[in-house]
């Protein structure tokens, strides 16, 4: 599988914020309503408590290990919040299709806080092996001319989700130093892995320098239940 980092996180954040706005044409189905209600009932575990606005940020279905798995992500943010530094708390839910209905198999309330401009991260769901479901969260932030991107990876484990990786996927300081500066740092990461094996393997990170198009490769090994990023260079 191949993931290529987004280069313009600020535009992505704005688009995601627009998706959070009410849209009568985008009606919630019963399962999405259930996920929101479950999150609302657990308001004591949320930063905004009972004064949250809840939205479905992602609803993804994949087939893995012979079953249809559906993942729903609910974002919770204080009602009326509207600022570039605000990010929703994310609650994660998984359901398995059985005899024509979706049975709940896992949930993690307020698993993490991620995003900007009141919007959550870009979310994708895919297998990391023949029997391992992975949920990717990709987000970026810009400030004072510097933009950075990052990825969180969560695995479905037992009755919940567990974070197994966090690494940078891009950076650009052209807004601070200028596109022709010798101090320009602009790069992006493509993540490549084999999802056809029974065991989770390493992720290959292909780093492209956007200034000279040179590429470097790093291995993100899977060890002790998570991806080990300790060997990656800083920045």
Q: How confident is the prediction along the chain (235 residues), in pLDDT tens digits per residue?
A: 655 555 445 445 445 454 544 443 346 899 999 999 999 999 999 999 999 999 999 999 999 999 999 999 999 998 876 666 689 999 999 999 999 999 999 999 999 999 887 789 999 999 999 999 999 999 988 888 999 999 999 999 999 999 999 999 999 988 888 888 888 889 999 999 999 999 999 999 999 999 899 999 999 999 999 999 888 876 5
Does an H or E element contain 214, and which? none
Closest by CA to 231, choosing from 200, 193, 199, 205, is 205
Say if residues 71 and 94 touch (Cβ distance below 8 Å).
yes
Distance of CA 149 to the CA centre of its chain: 11
Q: Which residue has the tokens 């009568």?
A: 24
Residue 33 makes CB contacts below 8 A (sequence gap 6+) with: none
Q: Whole-model pTM?
A: 0.84
């Amino acid at each position: 599988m191949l993931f290529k980092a987004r280069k313009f996180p600020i535009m992505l954040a704005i688009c995601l914020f627009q998706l959070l706005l009410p849209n009568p044409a985008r009606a919630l189905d019963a399962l999405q309503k259930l996920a929101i209600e479950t999150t609302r009932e657990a308001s004591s575990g949320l930063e905004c408590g009972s004064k949250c606005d809840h939205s479905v940020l992602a609803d993804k279905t994949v087939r893995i290990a012979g079953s249809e798995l559906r993942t729903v992500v609910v974002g919770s943010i204080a009602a009326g919040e509207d600022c570039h530094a605000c990010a929703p708390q994310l609650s994660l839910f998984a359901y398995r299709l059985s005899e024509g209905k979706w049975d709940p198999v896992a949930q993690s309330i307020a698993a993490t806080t991620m995003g900007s401009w009141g919007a959550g991260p870009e979310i994708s769901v895919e297998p990391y092996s023949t029997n391992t479901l992975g949920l990717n969260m990709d987000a970026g932030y810009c400030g004072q001319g510097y933009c950075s991107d990052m990825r969180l990876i969560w695995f479905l484990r037992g009755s919940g989700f567990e974070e197994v990786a966090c690494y940078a996927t891009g950076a650009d300081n052209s807004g601070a130093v200028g596109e022709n500066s010798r101090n320009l740092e602009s790069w992006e990461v493509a993540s490549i892995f084999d999802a056809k094996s029974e065991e989770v393997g390493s992720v290959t990170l292909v780093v492209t320098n956007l200034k000279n198009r040179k590429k470097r490769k790093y291995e993100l090994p899977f060890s002790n239940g998570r991806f080990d990023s300790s060997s990656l260079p800083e920045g």
